[in-house]
Chains A and B, each alone.
Chain A
């Protein structure tokens, strides 16, 4: 198989940026990118406009009605409470918008940390090889073999509870890191095989220089694809852990928690808006990341296009 040359070709292509061109011709990827940028805008807007404390605290005992249907459905003026209010009389619309901030923030932290750790481990494993490589990568392999959600549940059960949402974040970082380590190690090995790295070593380049100057840039493309795809998964898994009661703390306007409270407090009695809107935001955001990630993978992998003549 001629995998090496082809992949190197792909990387070369990326430098000349036909990658971006490919990506932009992929309509689905563009839709995904638009969704993500839109969510990011919403997130920043919500972060700047709303006060987290106010969104989290109960409005009972004030004049706001709890579980009020969306304004355009009910007796209230259509502009009021666009998505209705929840069981603590909080405005679901504002909470959903703020939820975007939380989802992107914790998603970024989760994926960012696992990427950093994974990249570090992958490169170290590839560069030093031998025992280091084996111990790191084999541990990663075992972690990879566990069913993700079940592994996260088991980990969450061990961590001290006072970590709150961080408990879920740490568990997911452990779940995701191996994926990055594996991808990066593979890519790094290919770069190392190139003679020019050998040449630099011969010229007396120090370890960090080789890592930073030569290996890292060449692994960027697969890392980006992997991060994008895992970003969607991370957001959904964080929500699932919150839904099962192992994630976000009381009152936090996180989509997963709003969804679970909403189902509990009124879905089956017809108050669907409590859970519908947070779920919708969650699904759209995840779809955005999946669309983009898919598109990027197609654009990156030339084999996919060669296949159809």
Chain B
């Protein structure tokens, strides 16, 4: 690690380039790479990877191979605390480790990472940390690194606090809102005191934003904390080497001292191809090995080619259309909402617009998440029934409303404009007039929806931590106090004290709110499951949203990648440490 906190980006890159040219592994001073890795090897045997001893030892032999990962965007800052972008997380997950991680290929099971033992009891979380883990800069990992990480992210009185405008919204969301204090008095014991009982907390520790940074680096960065993302230093399987912004690439090299499995390749290059189908073509040609964010036509094309395989997995996400009860009066009538749910042909949306790479949604929680209610089926499309329900509700003559939509594809809604058009066509059939209000920019779009200015809108959610709370409480609880909801009313206005604008339908069903709030504090898995299933039933019946789809996680992989060495995960990852090339 450079001792000079003032080092600027260009001279840093020069240093890194020089280091690469000398075939050393770059840190700022390059000393991490030359270090003797005995301690690391010993430790990795302790973990889950029995094969890794041999691999780490023989890693140098396999190290000349280069894995190329193609993606759609090239952010230029790889600080896990400054981003909300999945594109950044893909890279930081290679460089950094979290205390606990999502097991590769699982639907969000937790497993050991930098902590070998962890428990949550009441408002206290206790973790035992892995010993003999070193950062890429050669510093040893201890509990004070986590403390510094947390303080940099959330504590404005900390000397090296990242700053309100620099840190991402994940700061409070992941750690800040929940952690009261961190006790790092012992090097390998960590005690975290929470502000309240909070069941998803351990899962939050596995989120990419909770990645552990090096305290030594934080201190060395001094007042230039924002620059940390151009020279990230972590404990992960790959270490940062070169950031080539003009050509939109980033190069990582193997960390031979990695505590866990692998890495099996010497170099990983993340390259950028904006156009989805071009990216698939690149994998088919073998110019890159793995790519993500496929669209349906790219998927078909890869499927037909003989050189690439396709991996698909249920995703943990949800695309929906929210009906804003706080603004648009007819939506306050449950029968109207249910009629709309019956009219929108989600089957056509999922099978034709999304080409079958998503499944119809039936409830807020996607499958594979604790508390998903298997008894619920998507609303069947039945326009006659929808029509008669409208008449029953007194809206037989129809009405007119605005449907706001973003226009650039997002994972849970790969074709928003077409989807909006489909909804418009479907609702026309039952006499409703839909005016599509299309936003080309996502930022102003969120601005608009979180101010509650829409009648109805498309939105969606990717899970952060695969916890049901992350959908049920975050998206559908208004987070106002129970007393703020007037009697006999199941919505509140957006300016209610404490209102969370993530709830874009204004829904405030007290029965539902009690359930999910109780579940948030419940640590017994079985009890939580029952509560969420009940809450899901309620959401289904009340239908504040039209539940549209759960999109699949899709990856195209070139034949050069050894079969099964790459595992698709719907949360966390990609796990490139295990990937082998032929």
Contacts and interface: CB of A to CB of B under 8 A. Distances in A.
Q: Is A–B contact present in the complex under a CB 8 A cutoff? A: yes
Interface in A215-269: 245-246, 249-251, 261, 265-269
A251 B439 contact: no
Interface string A76-97: 0000000000011100000000
Give the interface centre of B277, B280, B281, B347 by most chain A CB atoms within 10 Å. B277
A162 interface: yes
A303 interface: no
A268 B279 CA distance: 10
Interface stretch (B47-55, B415-423, B555-563): B415-423
Contacts of B421: 56-58, 88, 250-251
Interface stretch (B25-33, B117-125, B129-137, B297-305): B297-305
A56 B352 CA distance: 17
Interface string B439-478: 1100010000000000000000000000000000000000
Given A88-B421, A249-B436, A251-B421, A60 B352 contact: yes
B348 A60 contact: yes
Interface in A260-307: 261, 265-271
Interface string B390-429: 0000000000000001011000000101101110111010
A250 B428 contact: no
Contacts of B539: none
Given A61-B348, A66-B352, A269 B298 contact: yes
Given A162-B437, A250-B407, A265 B425 contact: no
A268 B275 contact: yes
Contacts of B436: 249-251
B546 to A, nearest CB: 15
A67 B355 CA distance: 11
Contacts of B345: 60-61
A161 interface: yes
B438 A58 contact: no
Contact of A268 (B277, B424, B426, B439): B277
B386 interface: no
B277 A246 contact: no
B341 interface: no
Given A268-B277, A269-B277, A250 B301 contact: no
A233 to B, nearest CB: 23
Give the interface centre of A162, A266, A267 by most chain B CB atoms within 10 Å. A266
A89 B301 CA distance: 19
A57 B438 contact: no
Interface string B277-296: 11011000000000000000
B353 interface: yes
Nearest to A161: B439
Contacts of B301: 269-270
Nearest to A67: B297
B297 A61 contact: no
Contacts of A266: 277, 297
A269 B428 contact: no
Contacts of A61: 345, 347-348, 352, 422, 426
Given A246-B440, A249-B438, A250-B436, A87 B425 contact: no
Interface string B340-363: 000001011100110000000000
A71 B408 CA distance: 31
A271 B297 contact: yes
B278 A57 contact: no
Contacts of A66: 352
Contact of B300 (A58, A89, A269): A269
Nearest to B278: A268
A133 to B, nearest CB: 39
Nearest to A246: B440
B407 A268 contact: no
Interface string B522-550: 00000000000000000000000000000
B417 to A, nearest CB: 4
Give the interface centre of A250, A265, A266 by most chain B CB atoms within 10 Å. A250
Nearest to A247: B440
A58 B440 CA distance: 20
Interface in B291-333: 297-298, 300-301
Contacts of A89: 352
A58 B438 CA distance: 16
Given A266-B297, A269-B277, A269-B300, A60 B422 contact: yes
Contacts of B349: 60
A58 B421 CA distance: 6
Interface string A43-58: 0000000000000111
A249 B415 CA distance: 14
Nearest to B448: A161
Contacts of B405: 250
A57 B348 contact: no
A87 B418 contact: yes
A57 B428 contact: yes
A241 to B, nearest CB: 11
A89 to B, nearest CB: 8
A269 B303 CA distance: 12
Nearest to A90: B421
A261 B415 CA distance: 10
A168 B275 CA distance: 25
Contacts of A87: 353, 415, 418
A302 to B, nearest CB: 48
B297 A60 contact: no
Given A57-B424, A250-B436, A265 B297 contact: yes
A142 to B, nearest CB: 28
A269 B408 CA distance: 19
B418 A58 contact: yes
Nearest to A270: B301
Give the interface centre of B298, B345, B438 by most chain A CB atoms within 10 Å. B438
Contacts of A271: 297
Interface in A85-140: 87-89
Contact of A269 (B297, B417, B422): B297
B418 A88 contact: yes
Contacts of A60: 345, 348-349, 352-353, 422
Given A56-B421, A161-B439, A245 B407 contact: yes
Interface of A: 56-58, 60-61, 66-67, 87-89, 161-162, 245-246, 249-251, 261, 265-271
Listed from nearest, the 10 A-B pairs whose CB atoms lie closest are A61-B348, A268-B277, A57-B425, A269-B297, A250-B417, A245-B440, A60-B352, A58-B422, A60-B348, A251-B421
Interface of B: 275, 277-278, 280-281, 297-298, 300-301, 345, 347-349, 352-353, 405, 407-408, 415, 417-418, 420-422, 424-426, 428, 436-440, 444
26 contacts: A56-B421, A57-B421, A57-B424, A57-B425, A57-B428, A58-B421, A60-B349, A60-B422, A61-B347, A61-B352, A61-B422, A67-B297, A89-B352, A161-B437, A162-B437, A250-B405, A250-B417, A250-B418, A251-B424, A261-B417, A265-B415, A268-B278, A268-B281, A269-B277, A269-B297, A270-B301
Given A61-B422, A161-B439, A270-B301, 9 more contacts: A56-B421, A66-B352, A87-B415, A88-B353, A249-B438, A250-B405, A266-B277, A268-B277, A269-B298
